[in-house]
Amino acid sequence: MVELKANKIGFRYGGTKKWILKNLSISLKDNQVKGLIGESGGGKSTLCKILAGYEGNFEGELKIDKLNTNDSKFNQVQLIFQHPERTMNPKWKMKQSLDESWEVSDDILEKFGIKKSWLNRWPNELSGGELQRFSIIRALNPKTKFLIADEITTMLDAVTQVQIWKLLLSMAKERKIGILVVSHDKELVNEICDEVVYLDDINHDIKYNL
Amino acid sequence: MSKNRNNSDDDIIEVPKTLLNVSNISISFFQYTQGLRKTVLNVVEDLDLDVHEGEIVAILGSSGSGKSLLAHAILGILPGNSLLKGEMIYDGKILDQKLKEELRGDEISLIPQSVDSLDPLMKVGGQVIGDIEDEKEREEKRKEMIKIFKNYDLREDVIDLYPFQLSGGMARRVLFSTSMINDPKLIIADEPTPGLDEKSLEETLNYLKIMANEGKGVILITHDIQAAVKVSDKIAIFYSGYVIEINETKNFSGNGDKLLHPYTRALYKALPQNGFQLFEGTQPMNIDIQDKCIYYDRCSQSVEKCGHSNPDLVEVDDGIKIRCHVVRKI
Amino acid sequence: MSFDKERFKSPYSFLFGSMNLRTKTLLIISLVGLILFAIVVNSLFINVDNITTNFSIKNSQPSLQHPFGTDWMGRDMFIRTMKGLGLSVIIGAMASILSTMIAIFLALSSTLGKYFDHCVSGVTNLFLSIPHILLIILISISLGGGIIGVVVGVSLTHWIPLTRVLRAEIKQINTSTYVKLSKNFGRTKWWIAKNHLLPLLIPQIVLGTILIFPHAIMHEASVTFLGFGLSPHEPAIGIILSESMKYLSNGAWWLAFFPGLSLLIIVLLFDLIGDNLQRLLDPTQANE
């Protein structure tokens, strides 16, 4: 079993004194769907960026057990964002954006309900739900072991939300990918996760006084 | 397709006055696609909507379904490559571009989507009051502002702070105050809630309720069905640029039996607390739509007629409307 | 549901009828480009020695034989002006290409690190604070004048706007989510530069080069006019204009008027290309 472990993470923005995360530890197993609930502006997104390697300036330790991370430059921890449109080069057609990550089989495209004609469209010609499907497929590179899903269905309608989560959960199970579901929506997290943690509980060294 | 509804109804005086009456609105864009080819995108089609004083009307649609454009159309800030057709009547007067510009920010005001719309280099007080030359008028506005701040749980010393000194919640309250300073009659809130945790969501929705209680008409544009259900009186469901159903909010309850359109039901039942049920298919962009019901490809109860004509929005009960060939009554 | 064509008509519809804006823009660009090209080619075939001096027709007013009149040596001003314009365009081209290269080099080096970035913005600010014309004169004189002096002088003073645009653009692209994601997919810096950065920068570079053109031509002419640029035996517009000064008081207005007007037209033509190209490349404006 592979495990993503973050130990005693601390973070503050460059030059500022105020800690956003302090002494925070969290772990994720590769067969686990874990929920993380937190208040808006409480550092959820920052934690996601640290876990997925987007933010290097933090204190503490981040490691993946029993897996040699040096064999490829591809990050085994992939982050899926709230706004899929920002993750696509606006001057690239969807096919090119997909290929940037891996060669996706027609099988998977069909499974995700992606029509062949969409591949020839520009990002601004697709809806938020359609774009989010693309960004999830991009993150599901065969090398991916963990997914950090940062409010990935917050901008989508309820019907699309169900479609995307059911797909993602079945794919993750098939491939033994661990998912951290980061959301403000308790109902959603309780519905899809095996285990739920609250950011306030694990980030206990920080007291908010808003 | 043109109907002159409401003209006859106006004789019967209802207690809450109709503030805004939108009928047959369609918005299209033209765009250069490949090389020199120019295409027309119909983004909003045949939209009808009434907003009364003291009422919160939610417009519910997924992102990219064109619902924000309605706000832009009412405010008269659509981009240059768009075309607006149809009729809007505000407070008994035809709302044309000239009137829109007059009323914008005054009688009709917008609560923007993001707190980023605050000017980072200007103190809160200056932003809320706006640019006023006259000394006396400014003093009056200042008093007004302090009164509004009290309503929105902002302390007086917030006036001298810069936006970066505000917490997210405070910034949002400042935005709300800014939209209220000129005592508007109609408020359009464009996605004020995405990504808010429960507490901030309750707070934001509560402020909208306060506005409605003061007799203002509120249009809440959102994709979040839970937010819409919590606060609004009426919900209009947007699908691929068409309003497919307008229903009273109280019908969004129980197991959703009182909802009419199959998509509305699907939306309701897809909520985690209502079963998290899966419904296949995607919402087509308007360019894909041919001459058939927009929901035809996903619908389980379609009849032969649905395959070759798109139904009109029909009133089935007082204020309740549906666009469907099959469902015609409650 | 039909598309209301009437409302979308542009105010210039009388020019090219029902063509859409993009076709029109392309047409304008190619037309103007053709004119400029013709001027350059034409001027290459004019031999300066062939502009014969003929004192019997000296100082004659514009006529059908000599549309721009003749000068105090009886030389045809139309031919002289054409030759001068060709030279102007060539010098403008050299200067703007050189400027663009400087801009690309500086913008790219600003991405190498914080220290480099500070250096670039320092140099940019330094050049911004010195008046253009003064700097061109200084550089031109120190290089001994002539074509090289003018070209180097103009290029060394015209890279600033493009550098700033490119630097800002690169910064924006580099901090975008899609570039960060690309790194997370294991793509190298080189791959990102080639596939993400370059395609987004090329339109800016092309546009920037063309927008430098009119400035370069104007500055070349003014420096030459002041006597710090091209040498007096070059058939440049600046020389023609400064020579004409002596005869203006005698009423030979055509000596300055037509060459000056032609220069202005050339500059406006380049501006026209730049404007239209900008509209073509900037999608938000192109849809208007």
Token pair of B214 as six digits? 């003061």
The average confidence (pLDDT) of chain B is 83
- For C183, name the nearest residue in chain A, comparing CA atoms only: A74
Asked if A155 has any chain B CB less than 8 Å from its own CB, the reply is: yes
CATH code, domain carrying B88 = 3.40.50.300
Q: Does residue B88 lie in a domain region?
A: yes
Q: Which domains are assigned to chain A?
A: 3-202 (3.40.50.300)
Q: Does residue B214 lie in a domain region?
A: yes
The Cα–Cα gap between B229 and A158 comes to 13
In this prediction, residue C134 has a pLDDT band, given cuts at 50, 70 and 90, of confident
Q: Is the pLDDT of residue C280 over 80?
A: no
Best of B34, B60, B63 to disrupt the A interface by mutation (most A CBs within 10 Å)?
Answer: B63
Q: Which pLDDT value is given to residue B290?
A: 64
Q: What is the pLDDT of residues C169-182, one digit of tens each?
A: 888 898 899 999 99
Q: Which pLDDT value is given to residue C14?
A: 45
Token pair of A174 as six digits? 């098939």
Q: What is the mean pLDDT of residues B190-213?
A: 84
In this prediction, residue B37 has a pLDDT band, given cuts at 50, 70 and 90, of low
Q: Does residue B257 lie in a domain region?
A: yes
Asked if C6 has any chain B CB less than 8 Å from its own CB, the reply is: no
- The answer to whether the CB atoms of C20 and B36 lie below 8 A apart is yes
Residue type, C236: A
Q: Which pLDDT value is given to residue C17?
A: 47
The average confidence (pLDDT) of chain A is 84
- The answer to whether the CB atoms of B267 and A159 lie below 8 A apart is yes
Burial annotation A48-57 (CB, 10 A radius, 16+ → b, else e)? bbbbbbbbee
A62: Cβ contacts below 8 Å, ≥ 6 apart = A5, A6, A7, A9, A50, A51
In this prediction, residue A134 has a pLDDT band, given cuts at 50, 70 and 90, of very high
- For B43, name the nearest residue in chain C, comparing CA atoms only: C1
Asked if C181 has any chain A CB less than 8 Å from its own CB, the reply is: yes
- Helix H or strand E segment including B93: strand B93-94
- The residue segments making up the domain with residue B262 are 9-107+184-322
Q: Which pLDDT value is given to residue C49?
A: 63
In this prediction, residue C3 has a pLDDT band, given cuts at 50, 70 and 90, of very low
- The answer to whether the CB atoms of A162 and B270 lie below 8 A apart is yes
Q: Which pLDDT value is given to residue C6?
A: 40
Q: What is the pLDDT of residues B125-140, one digit of tens each?
A: 888 887 777 888 888 8
In this prediction, residue C16 has a pLDDT band, given cuts at 50, 70 and 90, of very low
The average confidence (pLDDT) of chain C is 81
Token pair of C265 as six digits? 């037209």
| Chain A residues with beta carbon closer than 8 angstroms to that of C172 | none
Q: Does residue B173 lie in a domain region?
A: no
Q: How many domains does chain B have?
A: 1
- Flag whether the pTM goes above 0.80: no
Q: What is the pLDDT of residues A40-71, one digit of tens each?
A: 777 888 889 899 888 888 888 888 875 555 55
Q: Are A162 and B273 in contact, with CB atoms under 8 Å apart?
A: no
Scan residues 1-30 of A and list those with Cβ closer than 8 Å to B: none
| Chain A residues with beta carbon closer than 8 angstroms to that of B31 | none
Q: Which domains are assigned to chain C?
A: 88-272 (1.10.3720.10)
Q: Are A201 and A42 in contact, with CB atoms under 8 Å apart?
A: no
In this prediction, residue C220 has a pLDDT band, given cuts at 50, 70 and 90, of confident
Q: Is the pLDDT of residue C249 over 70?
A: yes
Q: Which pLDDT value is given to residue B202?
A: 87
Asked if A162 has any chain B CB less than 8 Å from its own CB, the reply is: yes
ipTM score: 0.86
Q: What is the mean pLDDT of residues B217-231?
A: 90
Token pair of A208 as six digits? 């908010």
Q: Does residue B161 lie in a domain region?
A: no
Residue type, B1: M
Considering A114-118, A206-210, B217-221, C40-44, the range whose residues carry the highest mean pLDDT is B217-221
In this prediction, residue B220 has a pLDDT band, given cuts at 50, 70 and 90, of very high
Nearest by CB: B223 against A39, A155, A188 = A155
Scan residues 115-144 of A and list those with Cβ closer than 8 Å to C: 138, 141
Q: What is the mean pLDDT of residues C136-154?
A: 87
Asked if A188 has any chain B CB less than 8 Å from its own CB, the reply is: yes
- For A96, name the nearest residue in chain C, comparing CA atoms only: C195
User: How long is chain C?
Assistant: 288
Share of chain C above pLDDT 90, in %: 9
Scan residues 25-54 of C and list those with Cβ closer than 8 Å to B: 26
Q: Does residue B130 lie in a domain region?
A: no
Residue among B68, B28, B86, B73 nearest C8 (CA): B28
Q: Which residues does residue B58 pair with via DSSP β-bridges, in sequence order?
A: B220, B235
Share of chain B above pLDDT 90, in %: 13
Q: Which pLDDT value is given to residue A149?
A: 92
Nearest by CB: C3 against B36, B40, B45 = B40
Best of C2, C8, C287, C288 to disrupt the B interface by mutation (most B CBs within 10 Å)?
Answer: C287
Residue type, B313: L
